Amino acid sequence: MDLRSLRYLVEVVRHGGFARAADHAHASQPTLSKAIAQLEDELGMRLLERGRGGVRLTAAGDVVHRHALAMLAEQSRLREELDALRGLRRGELRLGLPPLGSSVLFAPLLARFRQHYPPIDIRLEEHGSRRLEQFVLAGELEVAATLQPVGEGLAWQDVRDEPMLALLPQAHPRAGAKRFRLEWLADTPLILFEEGFALNQLIREACARRGVAPQEAVRSAQVEFILALVAAGGGIALLPRLTLEGRTLSGLVALPLAGNDLRWKMVLAWRRDATLSPAARAWLALVAGQPPDL
């Protein structure tokens, strides 16, 4: 049975006959009669009794009519909800952001997203990039910020490509250099990030290309704490340039890296085979600098 036949039945009952129902259903009387006859054949029971006063429901027809009203109302609610999703009048953005760099890159964008689409609920997860990628692949998040190269099964769009800086205490023997060479990490402790941060692996791989195995001193997810450790002589840190914007580097020296093979390339990633929600597509468009579709 199809919803069109049920809708015709409801119209015939509402208007007490086929002639008036045909006008409101925008269909001919033969079309209505044929659809209801097919419905009766499918169910194996008569649904309407025809008389001089019009039509009336049989006992079976009363059951079908009652369910038809409920099904059509549910269809209407379904369409309303889908229209609301398409129009971003409801929905949820399931987003993952890493602690490193998000305050500079994404906090202003999230504020703009909230201004443009206030009905959208934002569910935010904050972890290292590699863990966020796992959440995306598992379907727990739709979109997450991560670093290039992304894992298998993910599509992405570029967000920011930043150089890395080496942070040294002012008293460090290399503090007067114009550029910091990763080879110097062979005899200097390196402060890394918590497990799950994609930047750890990128740093290790860049060092390995130069035949260096860095001495890992301590790990932290907090930029302020890392800077304090460096200033206190606890080691050297490698950070993307934008994470230092607006910060006072008291007791520190920031040196650009020699070479260009270690960079912080932030992207937004999603599962390649996923159909993104309207809210996720709006977020990607906003980050890409496209005007919001209001």
* pLDDT tens for each residue of 130-161: 889 999 998 899 999 999 999 899 999 999 99
Find tokens 């044929």 and name the residue: 34
My answer on whether 241 and 273 are in the same domain is yes
Return the CATH number at 80: 1.10.10.10
Q: Which amino acid is at 235?
A: G
Give the whole-number percent of the chain exceeding pLDDT 90. Answer: 38
Identify the domain containing residue 146 by its residue range: 91-294
Pick the most confident of 44-53, 68-77, 129-138: 129-138
State residue 26 phi and psi, 5-degree precision: 55, 45
Domain boundary among 64, 86, 108: 86
Return the CATH number at 155: 3.40.190.290
Domain boundary among 86, 109, 139: 86
> Quick one: residue 93, left, alpha or beta (phi over 0 = left, psi -120 to 50 = alpha)?
beta
Question: What is the rounded CA–CA span in Å between residue 184 and residue 182?
Answer: 5
Q: How high is the pLDDT of residue 70?
A: 87
Q: How confident is the model at residue 53 (pLDDT cuts 50, 70, 90)?
A: confident
Q: How high is the pLDDT of residue 158?
A: 95
My answer on whether 103 and 69 are in the same domain is no
My answer on whether 125 and 71 are in the same domain is no
My answer on whether 237 and 266 are in the same domain is yes
My answer on whether 113 and 167 are in the same domain is yes
Pick the most confident of 47-56, 172-181, 240-249: 172-181
My answer on whether 119 and 221 are in the same domain is yes
My answer on whether 168 and 267 are in the same domain is yes
My answer on whether 156 and 64 are in the same domain is no
Mean pLDDT of 196-219: 87
What 3-state class would DSSP assign to 94?
strand
Token pair of 238 as six digits: 């490698």
My answer on whether 48 and 146 are in the same domain is no
Each residue of 222-237: pLDDT tens digit?
A: 888 888 989 988 889 9
My answer on whether 150 and 202 are in the same domain is yes
Q: Are 165 and 256 in contact (CB under 8 A)?
A: yes
Does 188 score more than 80 pLDDT? yes
Mean pLDDT of 50-67: 86
Which residue has better confidence, 79 or 213? 213
My answer on whether 55 and 121 are in the same domain is no
Q: How confident is the model at residue 291 (pLDDT cuts 50, 70, 90)?
A: low
Q: How confident is the model at residue 294 (pLDDT cuts 50, 70, 90)?
A: very low
Domain boundary among 53, 86, 119: 86
CA-to-CA dists, residue 214 to 9, 10, 190, 238, angstroms: 77, 76, 6, 12
My answer on whether 130 and 262 are in the same domain is yes
Which residues, at least 6 apart from 278, have a Cβ–Cβ distance to it below 8 Å?
85, 86, 88, 91
Does 24 score more than 90 pLDDT? no
Mean pLDDT of 97-101: 88
Q: How many domains does the chain have?
A: 2
Q: How high is the pLDDT of residue 80?
A: 67
Each residue of 109-130: pLDDT tens digit?
A: 999 999 988 888 899 999 888 8
Which residue has better confidence, 80 or 235? 235
